[in-house]
Amino acid sequence: MKPIPLSMIPRTRSKTPFKDQKTLIHGGDYNPEQWLSVNPQILQEDMELMQKTGINSVTIGVFSWSALEPSEGKFDFSWMDRVMDQQARLGNRVILSTPTAAIPAWLAEKYPEVRRVDPRGYRPPMTNRQHHCWTSPIFRQRVRIINTQLAERYGHHPALSMWHVSNELCGQCFCELCRRSWSEWLEKRFGSLQAMNEAHWACFWSKQATEWRHAEPTCGYSDGLLLNWLRFCNDQYAQWYQFESDILRRITPSIPITTNFMSTVYGIDYQSLAKVVDVVADDQYPNYDPQHPRYLEAVPYWSLKQDLYRCMKPGHTFMLMESCPGVMQSRTPMKVKRPNIHRLEMLQAIAHGADGTCYFQFRAGRGGMEKMHGAVVEHWGTQRHFQTRRFRELRELSDTYEKIKPILGTSICPQVALIYDSQSSWAQQLTPGLGIDNPPRNTNLREIRYYDAVATEYYEPFWRHGIPVDVIPNDRNLSAYRIVVLPMHWIMTPDFARRLREYVHQGGILIATWDTAMADEHNRMLVGGWPGEGLTDVFGGWIEEVDRVGNGVPIAIDGLPGSGSEIATLMHTNGVEVLARFAQDFYRGMPAVTRFRCGSGQAYYVGTRLNQQARQALFEMILRESSCHIPFQDPLPEGVTVQWRGVCETLFAFAMNFSSQPHQIGLGSFKLTDVETRTIYENCLPLGPLQARVFEVS
Ligand code: GAL
């Protein structure tokens, strides 16, 4: 391996989630109100359990409205007072949630308008949670009262460290109030009905609106309209968050506020929502199962997801607000978490910039729909806790967190960026016929959506070389990056096209896949040749037809080892280097993978879904020819990666082996000191099966 100087891995200091944070957060949702009437000793018992397990933070109150306000205007904070005091005595930090994600029965019954209406116009009498209307003035009134009470009562409590607004903001409401606000949103966005009709291509199927309310979000005549409806819903989430947080901020201006995201999901643009939160926090449930045949395929997706979260709020680290230390009740079969997996999963998040990880939840309830969801303390009870594998694993993790705390607030400045665009993925999914599915590809592992799977395929080659990657939205400055990867960036705006063109002209390396720059922001096809918005000049070709042969169907190619699949993009080219050609069907001989030298840079176009072998070969070539710093010249063994964090002269390496085989990693000129054992490694680093280790690099 060619040595690379440490200065080649630039690093930076970022803000931690808590103010004056001295250690990694190791916390969890805590719902003692479910227990207090049956076991009044529970707070005392839990104090000891938390202390000995190393739990230093709790999130309370998430769904506690009916325990705090059992009937309208009658409040009972006595239990919460005790929990706050208990946590202060422990020296723990409290993330205090507003209870608004679940509506008490009295409220749902007395004020029907607070309940959501479904697309068929039906307003169920009650649903489980996350079911309030986004617009209802009465609901806002009730929320203002309970949030104000919480902020006034606990604003100066020594344990209060962060606010947590609601829970996993999501879902849609089709009531008259929300529909009115949709009409207003459209009017603001388009100014005239004509502009809206054109954007939604409403002449199709005779749907031209003569009133704003005619833009019907439950009817699939315009995928552009449905895309805008999703954007409207995202604005509702952001406004809701701002409404709740304004109440808190006025009373407690110095307490950071967050809400919990859900990794990557269809229909929610977390990169935009990140702009309104103080702290980026994720609920992460990969359900890693090393015995699953596709497990190793899923692992780099979760690294990509962490890098997406690291980049959401520049200058800030992020945290995991929820994770599961045991079995997941929402997955079938309910396999227990294998030994070592939890540590690996948590250190994977820390390796990519998280400054803490928390659980759902601290103590499992006895009833309800999640009674069997793995928790820190399960039904084995208080007495037996210290005999469990759960306790040993979490105690060891706490010890590791204590020893690696110098990594707090450290980060990294990569030379590679991958542009992640949720809205392109929604637009593709809304477009009939593309075959962009939501169904699970990895049964029992957490489902990985098609767009995410493709993005991961273009992230993984860097991951295998220990090359850090920023995963960023398309409005960021690209000039600092040597390589920019653009997987399936379906929507292209004139502004982004201009910035991509400048980036390549000025010497950047751009790697785009099929289905890039196909539609405008309203999901209307771009005209005049794809890749649209003039990017044909950047890639040196234009696409005549796209043959979509079906998910998983291989397509033969020449020029690279391995094969393509699923898509054949049939391109007219001019002056490009053809790196691979199609080797089947009537398009045999047409370019499949091309490189065009444009200005001082290069633009690659990948017109088919390459398999791993072909992708690896292509990336080896691109990396060799780029001036990108490559920590490990040869790809690391399958399932192994090294990620970095640091600041000034200090650099940390996280070496992680997700595979069930032991591996030896060649270290070249790196000298690694194990942060926990102080063992020094030169030349070669042994990594056991499913092992994660943290090193100081010198
Ligand atoms: C999360 C949710 C938690 C809990 C958990 C169980 O999505 O925020 O309240 O339901 O899932 O997996």
Helix ranges, 101-192 (H): 105-110, 137-154, 176-190
Q: Which two tokens stand for residue 392?
A: 């040993």
Distance (Å, rounded) from C-alpha 184 to C-alpha 545?
39
Q: Is the CB of 693 under 6 A from ligand 1?
A: no
Q: CA angle, corner 436, sides to 433 and 439, nearest 5?
A: 120
* Domains of the chain by residue range: 416-625, 640-697
Catalytic: which of 33, 168, 393, 566?
168
Beta-strand (E) ranges in 454-576?
Answer: 469-472, 483-486, 509-513, 541-548, 554-555, 557-558, 564-565, 567-573
Q: Is the CB of 168 under 6 A from ligand 1?
A: yes
322 is catalytic: yes
* Peptide bond connecting 531 to the previous residue in cis, omega within 30 degrees of 0: yes
Distance (Å, rounded) from C-alpha 7 to C-alpha 109?
63
Q: Percent of the chain, pLDDT > 70?
A: 98
The domain defined by 416-625 carries CATH number 2.60.120.380: no
pLDDT tens string 463-481: 999 999 999 999 999 999 9
pLDDT tens string 142-196: 999 999 999 999 999 999 999 999 999 999 999 999 999 999 999 999 999 999 9
Distance, CA of 40 to chain centre: 39
The residue whose CB lies within 8 Å of the most ligand 1 atoms, and thus the one to mutate among 131, 334, 370, is: 370
Q: What is the mean pLDDT of residues 341-358?
A: 98
pLDDT tens string 192-236: 999 999 999 999 999 999 999 999 999 889 999 999 999 999 999
Q: What pLDDT score was predicted for residue 159?
A: 98
Q: Is the CB of 129 under 6 A from ligand 1?
A: no
pLDDT at 107 over 60: yes
Buried b or exposed e, range 450-475, using 16+ CB within 10 angstroms = bbbbbbbbbbbbbbbbbbbbbbbbbe
C-alpha distance from residue 426 to each of 224, 626, 666 (Å): 10, 33, 42
Q: How far is the CA of 360 from the centre of ligand 1 (A)?
A: 6
Segment (H or E) for 305: helix 295-312
Q: What pLDDT score was predicted for residue 1?
A: 40
Q: Is the CB of 282 under 6 A from ligand 1?
A: no
What's the whole-model pTM score?
A: 0.98
Q: What pLDDT score was predicted for residue 254?
A: 97
**Nearest CA owner, ligand 1 atom 11:** 360
Q: Which two tokens stand for residue 535?
A: 């990017």
498 backbone φψ class: left, alpha, beta (φ>0; ψ -120 to 50): alpha
Superfamily of domain 640-697: Golgi alpha-mannosidase II (2.60.40.1180)
Q: Residue 34: which of 373, 376, 364 has the closest Cα?
A: 364
Q: What pLDDT score was predicted for residue 442?
A: 56
Distance (Å, rounded) from C-alpha 596 to C-alpha 485?
15
Q: Is the CB of 373 under 6 A from ligand 1?
A: yes
Cα torsion 146, 151, 153, 157: sign: positive
Rounded to 5 degrees, what are φ and ψ at 164?
-125, 110
pLDDT at 608 over 70: yes
Catalytic: which of 69, 322, 345, 393?
322
Beta-strand (E) ranges in 332-468?
Answer: 354-359, 410-412, 416-419
Beta-strand (E) ranges in 345-412?
Answer: 354-359, 410-412
Which 3 state secondary structure label does DSSP give 484?
strand
pLDDT tens string 569-591: 999 999 999 999 999 999 999 99
Q: What is the mean pLDDT of residues 670-688?
A: 96
In sequence order, what are the beta bridge partners of 470? 417
Q: How far is the CA of 220 from the centre of ligand 1 (A)?
A: 31
Q: How far is the CA of 325 from the centre of ligand 1 (A)?
A: 13
Q: Is the CB of 283 under 6 A from ligand 1?
A: yes
Q: Is the CB of 370 under 6 A from ligand 1?
A: yes
Closest atom of ligand 1 to CA, residue 63: 9
Closest atom of ligand 1 to CA, residue 168: 8
Q: How far is the CA of 668 from the centre of ligand 1 (A)?
A: 44
Distance (Å, rounded) from C-alpha 68 to C-alpha 154?
13
Mean pLDDT of the chain: 96
